[in-house]
Amino acid sequence: MSSSVDGLVSGMSTSTIIKQLMQVEAAPQDRLKTKVKTAQTTVSSYQSVNSKLAALKTAGGTLGDLATWRSIKATSSSTSVSATATNSLTSAAGSTTFDVVSTAAAQVTTTEYAAGSTDITDGSGTLTVTIGSGNPVPVNVTDKTPAGIAAAINSTSGVGVRAGVVTTASGDSILQITSSKPGVANNFTINGLGGTSNVVTAAADAKIRVGSLVDPNDESSGLTPGSYEVTNSSNTFTNLLSGVSITVTKPEKAVTINAQSDVAGIADKMQALVDAANSVLGEVKSQTAYDASTKKGSPLTGDFMVRNISQTILGSVSGGLSYDNPDYVKPTNPNDPVETADNPLKIAFGSMSKMGIQLDSTGKLTFDAAKFTAAYNEDPAAIKKAGIGLGDNFEAMARKQSDTVTSVVTGRSNEIDSLNDQISNWDTRLEARKLALQKQYTDLETALGKLKNQSSWLSGQLG
């Protein structure tokens, strides 16, 4: 509309005038947009701090987890026997020596057929596979050649065996069928095949013997008192040492498995906690920094709530460790004291330096793994309780601080939503104002045009 009346009569650039007037009209909206941008930057900074707090909470939870302190490291004296710690709550240090009597084996059955055989069934019209004492599984056969039978077996769901065909030097076909799983319980029989089948490998269980035979040279002589044997359908045993998985690969005598507390692994969790705490401290410092030379602050400069996060972390270290007594017994008699010297609510461990954690001159946490290891080896029970208490304290601290930051972020986000609503309302108002100005200047040009026409007519009459 403005282009059609832009200075046609007046000679003025009415579109430029309207644009300049709209800039003045939009000033309040621009201030709102600036507020939104500032608020979004602040929210982003809060969220950055919160992500570091979440990592600290996770590290504290991991260190306070009982499974961390029960983790073990398993070793084997034999290259043919592997030992892996499962690191469960049932894990415990220990040692055992045993003989691997036998390893598990899957049954392998072969049947030989003359070259060019087109029907290797027994004529019954049905083919079934039975695993152990289970129910027979029918196999649908259309192609009765060795290759067709193998394909039918392999395509049957839940059959429990695998089949293949091998061609001999003379051209005959060997149908080889193997159990899908090792162990005596997984032996199988096949009905419906012609020819003579031979079990070339019998199904067998793995066997471990702890102790010895009465006659070392006679397997049938029986076990000496206190000795025992453990069998398994697979080569992996999980019930010999608590929290340790043992896998055997061949018969062998006098294999020793040791399971010891994984002190190095626990130290890594301690280091992870210290790293996470330092990460929070570094982020808070970055987000609240002030550059005196440029006189410019960071998004959270002067924010007491965020600065308090650093003070809380540093204070928890400098003030020493105190944690909830895991063995506290609540008195049943209301007249009894809530706590006593022998039954305190909290345990005062003292300086964390005894566990290798302390503050350096720059205000960061440091961790001495060697000092921690020495303290743990000297008194595992005390360090375990203190370490769990430390992890629980940091987890609770990080959760509380994170909840506070989250609450602030929620408030700021609601504020941003409100500001954006106001900005949207201003869009409507500004559009209406622009239309009004365009109409006003259009009417002005129209009025000037009429005056010009009248002036021309009068000039003509006077002339």
Per residue, the 3-state secondary structure of 27-55, as one string, reads: HHHHHHHHHHHHHHHHHHHHHHHHHHHHH
Q: Which residue has the higher pLDDT, 295 or 128?
A: 128
Q: What's residue 7's pLDDT? A: 59
pLDDT at residue 45 tops 50 = yes
Q: What's residue 168's pLDDT? A: 92
Q: pLDDT band at 12, cuts 50/70/90? A: low
Q: How many other C-beta atoms are found inside a 10 Å radius of the C-beta of residue 141?
A: 21
To the nearest 5 percent, what fractions of the chain are helix, strand and coil?
Answer: 45, 25, 30
What average pLDDT does range 138-167 have in this prediction? 95
The amino acid occupying position 444 is L
Average pLDDT, the chain: 88
Q: What's residue 264's pLDDT? A: 92
| Length of the chain (residues) | 463
Q: Quick one: tokens of 149?
A: 């039978």
Q: What's residue 336's pLDDT? A: 80
C-beta separation of 22 from 430 below 8 A: yes
DSSP codes joined into one string, 132-176: TTS--EE---S--SHHHHHHHHHTSTT--EEEEEEE-TTS-EEEE
pLDDT at residue 20 tops 60 = yes
Q: Give which of 143, 100, 407, 401 is closest to 256, Cα–Cα.
A: 100
Q: What's residue 121's pLDDT? A: 93
Q: What's residue 228's pLDDT? A: 94
Q: What's residue 54's pLDDT? A: 95
pLDDT tens string 239-272: 888 889 999 999 999 999 999 889 999 999 999 9
pLDDT tens string 189-234: 999 999 999 999 999 999 999 999 999 888 888 999 999 999 999 9
Lowest mean pLDDT among 140-149, 286-295, 417-426: 417-426
pLDDT tens string 430-446: 787 778 777 777 777 77
The amino acid occupying position 49 is V
Q: How many other C-beta atoms are found inside a 10 Å radius of the C-beta of residue 44?
A: 12
Q: What's residue 6's pLDDT? A: 64
Q: pLDDT band at 388, cuts 50/70/90? A: very high
Q: What's residue 461's pLDDT? A: 74
Lowest mean pLDDT among 8-17, 103-112, 170-179: 8-17
pLDDT at residue 169 tops 70 = yes
Q: Which residue has the higher pLDDT, 4 or 455?
A: 455
